[in-house]
Amino acid sequence: MKRFFPNSTVKIDNEEKMAGKAIFTDDILCEEALSVSFVRSTISKGKILKIEVPTLPEGYFYVDARDIVKENVVSIIFSDWPVFADKQVNYYGETIGLIIGPSKEVALDLAKKVAITYQEETPVFEMTNSVIHKHFAKGDLAKAKKEADFTYTETFRTGLQEHIYLETQTMLMWLDGDKITVKASMQCPFYVKKAIVRTLGCDPDSVRVIQPAVGGAFGGKEHYPSILAAQLATAIVKVKKPLRFVFDRNDDIAFTTKRHPSETTYTAFVKDNRITGVEASVKLNGGAYIGCSGVVLSRGLIASVDCYTIPNLDVNGNVYLTNIVPTAAFRGFGSPQTIFAFEMFINHVAKALKVDPLKFRLAHLAKKGDITAVNGHFHDEIIMPQLIEKAMQMSDYKRKVKEYDKPNSNRGIGMSWFLHGCGFTGSGESTIINAQVKLVKEEDDTVHLYTSQVDFGQGNRTTLKKIVSDTLKYPENLVFHEAPDTDHTLSTGPTAASRTVIIVGYLCEKAAKHLKEQWVSGKRIEVIEPYVGPSYIRWDEDTMQGDAYPGYAWGVNIVEVSYDPITYQVRVEGIWSTYDVGHAIDERIVAGQSDGGLAQGIGYGMLECMDVKDGRFYQKTISDYAIPTSMDLPFMETALIDNPFAYGASGAKGAGELTFVGVAPAVCLAIEQAIKRKINKIPANPEYIMELVEHGKN
Amino acid sequence: MVNKFIPKSLQEALLILSQHDCYIMAGGTDLMVMKHRSSGLLPSFDKDIIYIANLQELNFIKDVSGSLTIGATATYSDILKSPIVPQLLKDIIIEIASPSLRNMATLIGNIGNASPAGDSLVGLYLLDAQVELISLRGTRTMPISEFIYGVRRIHREKDELIKSVIIPAHHFTQVKWKKVGSRKAETISKITFAGAYTLEKGIVRDFRLAFGSVSITVVRRPELEAKYIGLSVKQFKDKISDILSDYGQYITPISDQRSTKDYRYKVAMNIARDFISHIG
Amino acid sequence: MAKIKFVINHQPVEVDVDPSARLLDVLRNNLHMMGTKEGCGEGSCGACTVLVNGVSYSSCLTPMANVIGKEVLTIDGFNQTKQYRIIADAFSELGASQCGFCTPGMIMSTYALFLSNPRPTEEEVRLALSGNLCRCTGYNAIIKAVLLAAEEGEERGIKW
């Protein structure tokens, strides 16, 4: 059989996944498990005055805020999300209680019969109630403003996005003796454990979280499973029997967390055709609870001028609470919103100045040594010019961008440039996460790697194992990396923020080096490798100043589209990408991240619409909310250029989010060229395109 | 507790229908979605069901006196494979749902469902299809435009089953189908359009337009068509605005989770204009 | 309840279930064959794809009444065959399976395609898989894997 990736490793769980043998949470046989049904708020905002539970048959239970053991709160960075809505509901669908019992049918029916009397309050759906405000400045914007010979202002909007992981939210919880044991579709076993421990106030050793196969996550299972776990833990203390649920798809769409919608306004101050200053204002819709929104805002603000160096900045951002399902983590975590906005903006500024956008952007592109938006430095070599050149070559960009500019070409090609800070934003790695990799050589000389990184498709279980076996120069089949079990592994932090390879992978490499130094055949040797950040990285969380990330990954996306002026529909004809991820530990895995990020990005940029109507999501099913099918995408071509990172395993940085954050502007710049109108919001769907073409300005 | 009947013959099915008011399920691709409650649970039916998918007597695609007749249990996949089915129907069907659903779902099921967004209906209206109903009392036939009278409203008596759809032969000069959805596959239509004309020595002898998903039923107005039949190609094109304006009053789309009424209206008109401007 | 007789993965079986029960639920909950997955419950995602008399069906929409006397093939049975091996090896080579949840459905749809069209074009592959959603791979590796499997199958003279 032809080889496409001769240097790649077969993934650990590949065979079982293809054969249908991988055990996902709902595949686990547990006949005694009781079914859990959710009693949810049917209003967007109000006080709960009375809860009337119907008479429950034998073996059925109702659980709500009154059953909370210690604390009715789930820590999701900020601790404002209650386990169960107590006297107040803040969004349609908020969980008030659970009905638990042996028959799912009966439990569902009983849940519908729980009668809640509310005192309704006026919900807020507009971004008016700011609960988090952040601000930073660089240089002297007032001076740039004064000296400007041209000023340009524009506002951009991005919409909600739903993860549509193929496996919906699901959890199985049981008591092993007195130990609460959980298997769930999740990204962060230690977050889940922490949530249970906090709400019950119990000994951490009395909770064990084990990762089964996980069918996709993309951020949607970073925080939300913690809420579900806290709810089930409260129940299991009362019921003392195994519990399980699987969300039906429509419930998953209606009630789980989404990407933060945004509104970003930029003003550029230009002198002699160079942007000398930018004023940026970012608004994020946090939904009903803050949760991780503060960090989403931080990342978005830090990325507010994308991969460009602008000498003078004034950046402010706000998170607003509204009465819809809380928004939370989703691949990119704030930066897709601002990268879309700034990439479109800088192209529009160039057009307004009547200068070539390519030259204009090149003139502002960040270089090694430049001061970042938050007054840190780009410490490492930036190879964007090579990435850009290669991508343009692959796609025949230069010829096409000229040709498609002709009137009625009905075609467009767009190129986006972007970066992604790898690792937890700011000082989180050292102050909050404190990852510790455990590497053990057993007496039989097999090597066992223990991390809390969850493989939900990105192949990290294999990548991290490969780092160890490559560093030890040891046969891959003698190195084992089991799925996380909180009883056996230390926390290496969440599976998020593109940190797995750059942070945890680096620790795996260090651990393997230390193991190699101490290697004695036939003896058990255990190495614990704690995270120590590069000493030159300094960050002040309060002022948001310094080096926000230990390293950055960089990328270029080029998207070509054709346009049908009769239906205003756009077809993606080609996608080409180049990336600097430092070094690809496994090229096949990185190619997979590229492909998936591009597809999801096309969805974000032009296909996926989620509107809010009366506090509820208007699109209710997996047909209403259209993600791309195999017929909506062409083949994608990806090339990597090595640029080894000093603090990365074999020089590797991160790739999980990089491959998503730049797609929306690439496709929108292409659509702009095809329709000859400016795009200011995504998704750039046919209905919006029609408005622009029929009523908009050129 | 509802009855679930699995008749072994058409006669048995008709006997059951004469005694019970039933949901009639063939492939199940509409009913199983509508009645789905939750994973692991039975779909919730509030009246008896009769399963007819296995009735081979209703599984036919044949020429009957020059008209194509398609039986109730012929699936979309069967129809796609048949050499005697007109291209218009195949173009429509290949864009319905997905490959596995096309293996299960039936054309008659789409008629019985009578959804305003039923794609095949647009083609069937254009082709002057007739619906054949059968019961113990006998058979009767009526035009599809009479059979469907509202959103999911059909003139089927409780004891009747839709036996077949009869499609007369046509020899159009040109036929066009256009489906506009949110994506290229597995999509419920925002707008659909079918158009056909016949030219004879530069004169338009037959002219038909049908629009779907823009009203409670398919929009086809034979009286408007009659107004313009007999004109020359040039006269036709000169009258594009009149034609569109005539149809415009019958195109009354809504805004919903898939699209807006403005978009649906404008695109319906754009497609129709494009079709008419290419006549000849 | 009714006694429904059919053939599952080449084994004749009789289950005592309600005729309106979904084939997907009977496969997973009665027969404990967990390879077929539920992603949406409305026939739109393809995770529940099985073969019935050699053509692909969405088992979440298939009532047991429609399975009487038919031959059902699921990934649990297919994964023992040499036809599966060729498809699986191609999937492995391209990295066509990431989280794995859509993969059994993708493989069953691929096999259904090969049964009627052993050397499809890229367009035909995209059409054949258009009912199988994937959120991880962008279909890139999957389409290439199917084309590779078709090529390999022809080279080896496999009878699908």
Q: What tens digit of pLDDT does each residue of B199-249 get?
A: 999 999 999 999 999 999 999 999 999 999 999 999 999 999 999 999 999
Is the per-residue pLDDT at A696 higher than 80? Answer: no
Question: Measured between CB atoms, which of C2, C55, C131 is closest to B186?
Answer: C131
Q: Are B118 and B209 part of one and the same domain?
A: no
Distance CA(A146)–CA(A648), nearest Å, equals 43
Q: Are B162 and B227 part of one and the same domain?
A: no
Give residue C135's pLDDT. Answer: 98
Reported in sequence order, the residue ranges of A178-321 that DSSP labels E, i.e. its strands, are 179-184, 207-210, 243-246, 262-271, 274-285, 312-320
Q: Are B141 and B50 part of one and the same domain?
A: yes
Q: Which of A695, A692, A693 is nearest to A680 (CA)?
A: A692
Yes or no, beta carbons of B42 and C18 under 8 Å apart:
yes
CB of A209 within 8 A of CB of A486? yes
Q: Are B258 and B141 part of one and the same domain?
A: no
Give residue A185's pLDDT. Answer: 98
Backbone angles phi, psi at A523, to 5 degrees: -115, 145
For residue B148, the cross-strand partners are B154
Domain of B74? 4-167
Distance CA(C11)–CA(C77), nearest Å, equals 10
**Token pair belonging to A85:** 């809505």
Intervals of CATH 3.30.365.10 along chain A: 25-123+164-255, 384-432+547-698, 435-489+496-512+524-530
CATH class of A25-123+164-255: alpha beta
Q: Are B215 and B132 part of one and the same domain?
A: no
For residue A327, the cross-strand partners are A258
Yes or no, beta carbons of B28 and C112 under 8 Å apart:
no
Task: Select from C101, C111, C124, C151 the residue whose CB has the most chain A CBs within 10 Å, as the one to mutate to test that interface.
Answer: C101
Question: Measured between CB atoms, which of C61, C63, C132 is closest to B33?
Answer: C61
pLDDT digits (tens, 9 = 90+) for A77-121: 899 999 999 999 999 999 999 999 999 999 999 999 999 999 999
pLDDT digits (tens, 9 = 90+) for B159-179: 999 999 999 999 999 999 999
Query: CA of A551: how far to CAs of A35, A333, B143, B227, in Å?
Result: 46, 17, 70, 71
Which domains does chain C carry?
2-74 (3.10.20.30), 82-155 (1.10.150.120)
The order of strands in the sheet holding A179-184 is A61-64, A95-101, A34-40, A243-246, A170-176, A179-184, A207-210
pLDDT-derived band at A75, boundaries 50, 70, 90 = confident
Distance CA(A605)–CA(A332), nearest Å, equals 14
Whose tokens are 């038909």? That residue is B208
Give residue A268's pLDDT. Answer: 98
pLDDT-derived band at A698, boundaries 50, 70, 90 = low
Question: Residues of chain A whose C-beta is under 8 A from some C-beta in B?
Answer: 104-105, 108, 246, 248, 565-569, 571, 607, 609, 611, 618-620, 623-624, 626, 628-632, 685-687, 690, 694
Residue of chain C with shortest Cα separation from A636: C140
Whose tokens are 């094109």? That residue is B237
CA angle A377, A379, A384 (to 5 degrees): 100
Yes or no, beta carbons of C100 and A459 under 8 Å apart:
no
Yes or no, beta carbons of B99 and C56 under 8 Å apart:
yes
pLDDT-derived band at A299, boundaries 50, 70, 90 = very high
Distance CA(C44)–CA(C34), nearest Å, equals 19
| Strand, helix or coil for residue A499 | coil
pLDDT digits (tens, 9 = 90+) for A302-328: 999 999 999 999 999 999 999 999 999
Q: How many residues does chain B have?
A: 280
| Strand, helix or coil for residue B139 | strand
Lowest-confidence region among A4-8, A450-454, B265-269, C66-70: A4-8
Looking at B129, B148, B167, the residue that finishes a domain is B167
Whose tokens are 């009625």? That residue is A408
C-alpha count within 13 angstroms, C-beta hemisphere, residue A60:
18
| Sign of the alpha-carbon torsion through C105, C108, C112, C118 | positive
CB of B107 within 8 A of CB of B74? yes
**Token pair belonging to C53:** 């008399």
Distance CA(A200)–CA(A268), nearest Å, equals 51
Residue of chain A with shortest Cα separation from C136: A596
Whose tokens are 């809420």? That residue is A227
Distance CA(B275)–CA(B268), nearest Å, equals 11
Distance CA(A663)–CA(A671), nearest Å, equals 12
What is the four-CA torsion angle of A281, A283, A289, A290, rounded to 10 degrees? -30
Looking at CATH, the fold of the domain delimited by A384-432+547-698 is given as Aldehyde Oxidoreductase; domain 4 (3.30.365)
3-state helix, strand, coil in chain B (%, to 5): 35, 25, 40
For residue B150, the cross-strand partners are B153
Q: How distant is the Cα of A626 from the closest Cα of chain B, in angstroms?
A: 7
CB of B204 within 8 A of CB of A639? no
Percent of chain A's residues with pLDDT above 90? 95
CB < 8 Å to A626, chain B: 182-183, 187
Q: How distant is the Cα of C86 from the closest Cα of chain A, in angstroms?
A: 9
pLDDT digits (tens, 9 = 90+) for A2-17: 899 988 999 999 999 9
Q: Which helix (H) or strand (E) holds A227?
A: helix A224-239
Q: How do A95-101 and A61-64 pair as beta strands?
A: antiparallel
Q: How distant is the Cα of C66 from the closest Cα of chain A, in angstroms?
A: 24
**Token pair belonging to A216:** 């996709």
CA–centroid distance for C123 within its chain: 20
CB of A496 within 8 A of CB of A329? yes
Yes or no, beta carbons of B262 and A690 under 8 Å apart:
yes
pLDDT-derived band at A430, boundaries 50, 70, 90 = confident
Whose tokens are 């999509």? That residue is B187
C-alpha count within 13 angstroms, C-beta hemisphere, residue A680:
13
CB < 8 Å to A685, chain B: 182
Q: How distant is the Cα of C90 from the closest Cα of chain B, in angstroms?
A: 22
Yes or no, beta carbons of C144 and A635 under 8 Å apart:
yes
Q: In the 8-state DSSP scheme, what is residue B215?
A: S
Q: Are B142 and B207 part of one and the same domain?
A: no
CB of A578 within 8 A of CB of A641? yes
**Token pair belonging to A492:** 């290496």
Distance CA(A15)–CA(A216), nearest Å, equals 17
pLDDT-derived band at A156, boundaries 50, 70, 90 = very high
Q: How distant is the Cα of C16 from the closest Cα of chain A, in angstroms?
A: 19
Question: Measured between CB atoms, which of C20, C25, C109 is closest to B45?
Answer: C20
**Token pair belonging to A407:** 């009137």
CB of A440 within 8 A of CB of A518? no
CB of A259 within 8 A of CB of A286? no
Q: Which of A657, A662, A684 is nearest to A296 (CA)?
A: A657
Lowest-confidence region among A178-192, A420-434, C54-68: A420-434
Q: Are B32 and B53 part of one and the same domain?
A: yes
Distance CA(A165)–CA(A430), nearest Å, equals 31
**Token pair belonging to A59:** 């073996």
pLDDT digits (tens, 9 = 90+) for A444-468: 999 999 999 999 999 999 999 999 9
Looking at B119, B150, B167, the residue that finishes a domain is B167
Q: Are B45 and B113 part of one and the same domain?
A: yes
Yes or no, beta carbons of B97 and C68 under 8 Å apart:
no
The order of strands in the sheet holding B138-143 is B61-64, B67-71, B161-167, B130-135, B138-143
Give residue B83's pLDDT. Answer: 98
Provide CATH code, domain A435-489+496-512+524-530. Answer: 3.30.365.10
Burial letters C60-95, b for 16+ CB under 10 A, else e: bbbbbbbbbebebbbbbbbbeeebbebbbbbbbbbb
Q: Are B62 and B27 part of one and the same domain?
A: yes
Question: What one-letter code names the amino acid at B127?
Answer: L
Yes or no, beta carbons of A687 and B270 under 8 Å apart:
no
Q: Which of A16, A15, A73, A34 is nearest to A238 (CA)?
A: A34
Distance CA(A628)–CA(A599), nearest Å, equals 7
**Token pair belonging to A696:** 């908009």
Q: Are B155 and B262 part of one and the same domain?
A: no
Give residue A476's pLDDT. Answer: 93
CB < 8 Å to B28, chain C: 61-63, 66
Give residue A697's pLDDT. Answer: 57
CB of B55 within 8 A of CB of B73? yes
Give C 92-131 residues with CB within 8 A of chain A.
Answer: 92-95, 97-104, 107, 122, 125-127, 129-131
CB < 8 Å to A26, chain C: 38
pLDDT digits (tens, 9 = 90+) for A17-62: 999 999 999 999 999 999 999 999 999 999 999 999 999 999 999 9
Q: How distant is the Cα of B244 from the closest Cα of chain A, in angstroms?
A: 15
Q: Which residues contact A142 (CB under 8 A, 6 or more apart)?
A: none
| Sign of the alpha-carbon torsion through C148, C150, C154, C157 | positive
Distance CA(A425)–CA(A423), nearest Å, equals 6
CB of C143 within 8 A of CB of C106? no
The whole-number average pLDDT for the span A148-170 is 98
Q: Which helix (H) or strand (E) holds B131?
A: strand B130-135
Give A 25-84 residues with CB within 8 A of chain C.
Answer: 26-27, 29
Q: Which helix (H) or strand (E) holds A89?
A: strand A88-89
Instruction: Report the number of distinct structural domains present in chain B.
Output: 2
| Sign of the alpha-carbon torsion through A113, A118, A122, A127 | negative
CB proximity C90 to A under 8 Å: yes
Q: Which of B75, B83, B81 is nearest to B110 (CA)?
A: B75
Distance CA(A262)–CA(A73), nearest Å, equals 27
| Strand, helix or coil for residue A18 | helix
Q: What is the predicted ipTM?
A: 0.98
Q: Are B138 and B215 part of one and the same domain?
A: no
Yes or no, beta carbons of A588 and C95 under 8 Å apart:
yes
For residue C63, the cross-strand partners are C22
Task: Select from A2, A18, A218, A244 the residue whose CB has the most chain C CBs within 10 Å, as the one to mutate to test that interface.
Answer: A18
How big is the B-C interface in CB pairs under 8 Å?
Answer: 104
CB < 8 Å to B182, chain A: 607, 609, 626, 685
Yes or no, beta carbons of C62 and B28 under 8 Å apart:
yes
CB < 8 Å to A624, chain B: 257-258
Looking at B102, B133, B167, the residue that finishes a domain is B167
Query: CA of A26: how far to CAs of A184, A213, A231, A245, in Å?
Result: 9, 10, 18, 8
Yes or no, beta carbons of A629 and B186 under 8 Å apart:
yes
Distance CA(C155)–CA(C160), nearest Å, equals 13
Q: Which residues contact A262 (CB under 8 A, 6 or more apart)?
A: A156, A157, A158, A282, A283, A284, A285, A300, A337, A338, A341
Is the per-residue pLDDT at B130 higher than 60? Answer: yes
Give residue A424's pLDDT. Answer: 83
Q: Are B75 and B180 part of one and the same domain?
A: no
CB < 8 Å to B41, chain A: 104-105, 108
Q: How distant is the Cα of B26 from the closest Cα of chain A, in angstroms?
A: 22
Q: In the 8-state DSSP scheme, what is residue A554?
A: E
CATH number, domain containing residue B8: 3.30.465.10
Question: Residues of chain B whose C-beta is under 8 A from some C-beta in C?
Answer: 4, 6, 25, 27-29, 32-33, 36, 38-40, 42-43, 45, 49, 51, 53-54, 77, 94, 97-101, 103-104, 184-186
Residue of chain B with shortest Cα separation from C4: B6
Yes or no, beta carbons of A166 and C151 under 8 Å apart:
no
